[in-house]
Structure 1
Amino acid sequence: MTIDFTGQVAIVTGAGNGLGRSHALELAKRGAKVVVNDLGGARDGSGASSEASQEVVRLIESMGGEAISHGANVADYSQVQDMVEKTMAKWGRVDILINNAGILRDKSFTKMSLDDFKLVMDVHVMGTVNCTKAVWDIMRSQNYGRIVMTTSSSGMYGNFGQSNYGAAKMAVLGLMNTLVIEGAKNNIHVNALAPTAGTRMTEDLMPEDIVKAFAPEAVTAGMLTLCDEHAPNRFILCAGAGGYSSASMIETEGCFIPQAGQKAETVRDNWAQIIAPEHQTTMVTGAKQGEKFVLKAMAFMKSQQ
């Protein structure tokens, strides 16, 4: 079944270069009207220019598509609101939001300034929050919305020199998990993309031939499956160089220790059962963990009667 976005409106942040550019172009090729957002700053977030985003708009228009550019700094909610208001004034709806904008300020934690930590958090986390907040009620009123977060293996597994970036990329997964629950009744699906691609964000981190193998288009192919009508919900798709996989957080069944035995030494003595993989599961909500523990306690009390 062909994935088609005809009649839909998509906002893609950080769409002047790299992955965002690839996302915007492919959405347009498949019929979407696209808002090409890009502050036009350097990889570290400094500076601003509309040249890159306007070039993407020209490419889309040359293909017969419709697009507008907007230079909103995603970390500034008033600028994001202006972008969404202009989108609504032109096209009257927002169906898709691709939260792609990001910056890097890589240094080991001991050498990193708190300003560099905060700036990365502001762009990745609050940038995602701002854009999502600005379209959320629109999507609720439409009873339709598709939102893609951009996470990273650096957040899920760690990467030297990226404590700020990793913290931010895990934070957007926490945001996704709750929005999935809150958006379900209004047909809003929220998923996450964990890309590995050769872009200006990674061009000096990998050899040139490897960068070419990690073309952004491979990641975009996966991204499209996260924002179409039949998209999954609460899915983390990892993509790069033609490889695709899923990631998830699981919890073991664990054990129960009666109140009289709840000491650090007893917990350590039960470590094998705590980490045993049998019956491990993915929690649907945070409350399910508490429910599991309560049921264990109730089962123990019943066994003592």
Structure 2
Amino acid sequence: MIEFDHVHKAFGDHVVIEDLSLRVADGEFFVLVGPSGSGKSTLLRTVNRLTHIDRGRVLVDGKDVATQPIETLRRGIGYAIQSVGLFPHRTVAENIATVPRLLGWSKRDIDARVAELIDLLKLDEPGMAERYPDTLSGGQAQRVGVARALAARPKIVLMDEPFGALDPLTRESLQASVKAIQRDTGTAMLFVTHDMDEAFLLGDRVGLMLDGRLAQVGTPLELIRSPADDRVNEFVGGTRAYLRELAVRNVRDSVRRDEHAEGEPIPAQSTLQEALGAMLAQRRDRLPVEGGGAILLTDIVARPR
């Protein structure tokens, strides 16, 4: 668990984080979202002490990070950033192995973990493990950065706008990979983004930061349906918020088991947004759902109360 207890941080006269308290549970994917300068990246960096706070406490598993040896603290926390920061003179495999090697893992265990992550993050081109960072595409380099953050099986991974510089297709692929890995491993993720769609796609809960404070914390649906004030409503989309709601609700929650439909079936785990797109592509107002039943256009456009 990560706990921020009345955290305050200022740079000179500029307050970046103001008396902020928050708990991130074990195994939770928590996303901090907000505009540039809202304090979200600064808050994330207090966890591994890349930024030191002026007042309050930051705790990991109940221990104040300020009291822990900094090398021990950082080796137990995965960290991935937009600029990646791969070591240029180390191969992909050597970059991924950095923290396990520092922790004294055996060569056999390191090699097995590197191979596992190369597979999980779809870095499976022939010879990938022996390549150097300057031979990688932006998406490949970012995947290696994520693999390095996960290599030592940390209980916590910090991710600071890791996909911001990627093209949309690569970004979507990496988002799906990271979400699947987090779900399968139960790793606690603290993820920073300025993109509300990314926040709602990935987060179990989302914290909207404005002017160094948490304007609202909740599930994506809670922020969309019950914004705390006008500013939150504006950031989640205002009158367009319902379109974002379609991206966070699943077909399985609206499937009609006793209905039948013609057309190409869609997976039950698809979002309603994906179902609407499939209906438009197939020019149908209902579609069959894999595993039985159907989804109707009227169920998509009728917002539940």
- Give me the TM-score of the superposition, normalised by structure 1: 0.36
Q: Which has the higher contact order (CA 8 A, sep 6+)?
A: 2
Question: Which has the larger share of helix?
Answer: 1
**Larger strand percent:** 2
